[in-house]
Structure 1
Amino acid sequence: MKRHNFKKLQIWNDSMSIIDRTYKFTCSFPDFERFGLRTQMNRCSVSMASNISEGSSKRTDTHFAKYLDDSLGSAFEWETQLIVAYRQNYISEELFKELEKEINILQKKISKFIESLDI
């Protein structure tokens, strides 16, 4: 297996964009969410990119795929948290739809990348 440079992977760059956006919009959440949904969404977004980068250091595609699976799981977890934020009126419908589209695209890209590996 050829090791991947995570910084050149589109899925890593897309997940970094989600991190930036997440930190930006979660600061407007109510103060009582400081250690709740705000923290959870921030950590979850970081988990997506972190698992991609950590997995890229593994010696086999099988091991890399496990980390990509974890990243994909975090992407679905983050989508659920996005829905919660919208249902609690912490974000606008416009932002919700935009971010939902973005996370769905990332989920598909990660899934396709996993399928492309030699496992």
Structure 2
Amino acid sequence: MVRFRFQDMEIWQMAIEIAGKLFDIADGLEKKRLYRFAEQLRAAGMSMSNNIAEGSGSNSDKEFCQFLNIAHRSTFENANILILLQRRSFIDQATTDLLLEDLDHLCRKITNFQKSLK
């Protein structure tokens, strides 16, 4: 079976796991007819793993770091969306807290991985 480089990366595995949780929230938002929130959450959720995957195909570490920077920034976008959703009572505090912890952990892992490439 063919495997891409990114599939073995812990940061990609974490990002795809978090994205799944964000998609679950987005599914619930759609049931409440909050389509724009759901769409934005899915896009930002995919951006993390997409940029790690795309960057892993780069020809240089410098270029890969640029993609990792975008993935890193997407974690902040997701955190912001979750905080907004919680403040509007669309998701509960416990869910928000758990996902913010996951996003923070991923952020730190991405940063450490970037440092290893420099």
TM-score for both structures, normalised by structure 2: 0.92
> Which structure 1 residue ranges, 4+ long, deviate > 2 Å from structure 2?
none
Q: What's the offset of the Cα at 1:93?
A: 0.9
Q: What's the offset of the Cα at 1:25?
A: 1.5
- Counterpart mapping for 1:69-88 below 5 A: 69-88=69-88
Equivalent position of 2:93 in the other structure:
93
- Counterpart mapping for 1:40-59 below 5 A: 40-59=40-59
Aligned-residue sequence identity (percent) comes to: 26
Q: What's the offset of the Cα at 1:113?
A: 0.6
- In the alignment of these two chains, the number of paired residues is 113
Matched, 1:60 2:94: no
Q: Quick one: distance in 2 between partners of 1:85 and 1:26?
A: 11
Q: Which runs of 5+ in 1 are unaligned?
A: none
Q: Report Cα offsets for 1:14-58 as digits up to 9, x if no partner.
A: 000011111112221220x21x11100101110100000000001
Match of 2:28, SS state, is coil
Q: CA RMSD in A?
A: 1.1
Structure number with higher helix proportion = 2
Equivalent position of 2:39 in the other structure:
39
Q: What's the offset of the Cα at 1:87?
A: 0.5
Q: Quick one: distance in 2 between partners of 1:111 and 1:81?
A: 21
Equivalent position of 1:24 in the other structure:
24
Q: Report Cα offsets for 1:78-107 as digits up to 9, x if no partner.
A: 110011111111111111111111100001
Q: Quick one: distance in 2 between partners of 1:90 and 1:13?
A: 27
User: Relative contact order (alpha carbons < 8 A, sep ≥ 6): 1 or 2 greater?
Assistant: 1
Equivalent position of 1:15 in the other structure:
15
